[in-house]
Amino acid sequence: MSPCALLETRHASTQAVALDQRLSFWEDYNASTLVGLKCNSYAESGFAARQDNLQLQAMRLARIVGNEHVVERDSSMIRGVPKESIFVSLVSGSGSFFYQDGACQVLEPGELVVYRTDKPYLFGFAGAMGQFIFDIPQEQFAERCLKRFDRPLKVSLHNGGQRLLLRTLGERTRAFFQQPLRGEAEGYQEQAFQLLASIIAGQAGERPINALSAAYLLAAKQCIQEQLADPGLSCERVAAQTGISTRHLARLFALEDTLPSRFILEQRLQQARQLLGSGQGAGLDISEVAYRHGFASQAHFARAFKARFQLTPSEARGPQ
């Protein structure tokens, strides 16, 4: 399939639905596409909303806009429509509130809340709203973002580094929804995971980061993503292209408890694993997968892959 082909986007809108049927329509669509919930609205003009949904390899995305309303996922809904995901909601438009585990979080536009879908919650929007939802399976979230997550986490705009990361996440997600090219889906997903991991770790107090360091780290990661397929990619090259010293580059990645070289290897292995598990990778030789992800030899790739995932590349393949 052409890399210029677009991912299939599912759409839903209440515009053509009768006013007295809009809430049930919205609930049915969300139960089949995103998560089972109950919806209520007190807007004088009636409930109005639209939603776009994308399926990526390791996460789902939703873009929602609407007027004032409240959604609730209660215990009966959790039993009737079970879902074990972590939702990351980046809000825009009016103010909103989120309630789970006995705590209420008030969210300003541009802020983010992380929560579990296997616990009851209430999410309310005071006026015209917008929302990006990152729907991540719990095991993926534990591997890529935060190993143990039990209670909702709010990320505010008070810290300069977090503000930059949140804005970058919103801008890149908005651009991807505007043109969700199949050939760019893997790169976008990796960027989203990296940004989410940095945002969440910073808020949890594990790896606080200032705005300048966040900007340099984003630039370095972008350089790496653009050149992963090049076996000659080095820490020295990344530092030079980012405009900093190799020592400074190492200090930046130390904020995330890693090394630049380890980050490069991890990105190559993660992307190789996703390719192997996809239909596109089913017909490729292991040597081709290794070459596409910057490994100079199949043997080195196989050893590194087995050490990281406790699987051989052949065992990680999707259904033939």
The domain boundary residue, chosen from 157, 179, 194: 157
Q: Residue 174 falls within a domain, yes or no?
A: no
pLDDT (tens digit, 9 = 90+) per residue, 263-302? 999 999 988 988 888 777 777 889 999 999 999 889 999 9
Backbone angles phi, psi at 284, to 5 degrees: -95, 145
Domain boundary (119, 140, 157) is at 157
Could you tell me if 206 and 198 are in contact, meaning their C-beta atoms sit under 8 angstroms apart? no
What CATH number is associated with residue 253?
A: 1.10.10.60
Same domain? For 137 and 237 the reply is: no
Lowest average pLDDT, out of 44-53, 121-130, 145-154, goes to 145-154
Same domain, 135 and 21: yes
Closest CA to 288 of 304, 277, 305, 272: 272
Residues 41 and 152 in one domain: yes
Query: Are residues 125 and 242 located together in one domain of the fold?
Result: no
| Residue among 145, 143, 93 nearest 114 (CA) | 145
Of residues 26 and 182, more confidence is placed in: 26
Is residue 89 domain-shared with residue 219, that is, in the same domain?
A: no
pLDDT band of residue 320 (cuts 50, 70, 90) is: low
Q: In terms of residue numbers, what domain contains 219?
A: 214-309
Confidence at 1, pLDDT banded by 50, 70, 90:
very low
Question: Where a domain ends, among 157, 189, 204?
Answer: 157
Q: Is residue 5 part of a domain?
A: no
Mean pLDDT across the stretch 118-122? 97
189: in domain: no
Q: What domain count does the chain have?
A: 2
Q: Does the residue 23 lie in any domain? A: yes
Distance separating alpha carbons of residues 317 and 320, to the nearest angstrom: 8
Whether 318 has a pLDDT exceeding 80, the answer reads no
Predicted confidence at residue 207, as pLDDT, reads: 59
CB 64, CB 49: distance < 8 Å: yes
Taking only the tens place, the pLDDT of each residue in 172-216 is 999 999 999 988 898 899 889 989 988 888 776 555 667 778 888
For residues 244-269, give the mean pLDDT: 91
pLDDT band at residue 143 using 50, 70 and 90 as cut-offs: confident
Q: If you average pLDDT over residues 82-97, what whole number do you get?
A: 95
138 and 35 belong to one structural domain: yes
Confidence of residue 319 (pLDDT cuts 50, 70, 90): low
Mean pLDDT across 225-251: 91
